[in-house]
Amino acid sequence: MKTNYWAALEPGGIYHIYNRCVDGALLFYSPDNYHFFLRQWKKYILPYSETMAYCLMPNHFHFLVRIKDINVELTAEEGTVAGRDFTNGIIAGHQFIEDQFKRFFSGYSLALNKQQSRRGNLFSKRFKRIIIRSEPQLFRSICYIHHNPIHHKLAKSFHEWPFSSFNAYFSGKPSLVNIEVALEQLNMPNINLAKQQLLRFHLDFRKPGNR
């Protein structure tokens, strides 16, 4: 079946979201750029989604999210046309979420273009999203996202890359990632067992015979 990369971002749905910079150019030039990108994500997207995993690479990014039920009071506070239209029942929830992503990308693009004295589009067309439909697909997606720095030879192990959510799963430090939302899918009796299972998934990922 052909993959639909432009599926509506519906409440309750889980999606692997990704995009890259135009012409293979850089999205991030310094650690400050990575941190600013995550702050923008927290501002525009996190109120409407549970972030289950992410990885930021020099010229592209990956997020795994579950879209929340949309709070009408929260959308009204956005003060945007889309927020007002959703509150008044003129547009659907997925259209409002799409507008939030546009604001997120636009805000980062304007800041980076100013920093680099560049013009034009920063991101490649529309961002793609893949619907996650099963538990195996969910955990393969988490491992795939965290494996990106290894695949692109920017790190030798999962924990070495500072701009992914891998360490958040095992460090216990506060993070924008909702670890419990992902781990509850394992149906384990406690979170520590679920973490151990997820770590095994990561260590087995891309081994011969498990590609």
* Per-residue pLDDT at 157: 93
Two structure tokens written together for 20: 């890259």
- What is the pLDDT confidence band of residue 200, given thresholds at 50, 70 and 90? very high
Percent over 70 (pLDDT), the chain: 97
Percent over 90 (pLDDT), the chain: 71
Residue 12, burial from CB neighbour count under 10 angstroms (0-12, 13-18, 19+): exposed
The answer for residues whose C-beta is within 8 angstroms of residue 1's C-beta and 6 or more apart is none
Work out the average pLDDT over 48-61: 96
Domain ranges (residues) in the chain = 14-204
Query: What architecture is domain 14-204?
Result: 2-Layer Sandwich (3.30)
Q: What is the pTM of this model?
A: 0.93
Whole-number Å distance between alpha carbons of 113 and 30: 14
* Per-residue pLDDT at 211: 46
Q: Quote the longest CA-to-CA distance of the chain.
A: 54
Backbone angles phi, psi at 181, to 5 degrees: -60, -40
Alpha-carbon dihedral 97, 103, 108, 112, rounded to 10 degrees: 150
Backbone angles phi, psi at 178, to 5 degrees: -90, 90
CB 21 within 8 A of CB 123: yes
Region of poorest pLDDT, from 56-60, 61-65, 185-189: 185-189
Please compute, for residue 194, the number of CA atoms within 13 A of its CA located in the half-sphere on the CB side: 15
Whole-number Å distance between alpha carbons of 189 and 46: 28
Whole-number Å distance between alpha carbons of 86 and 59: 33
Closest CA to 72 of 51, 90, 53, 50: 90
Which residue type is seen at 200? R
Radius of gyration of the chain (CA): 18
Work out the average pLDDT over 79-101: 93
Average pLDDT, the chain: 91
pLDDT digit string, tens, across residues 66-89: 999 988 888 888 889 999 999 999
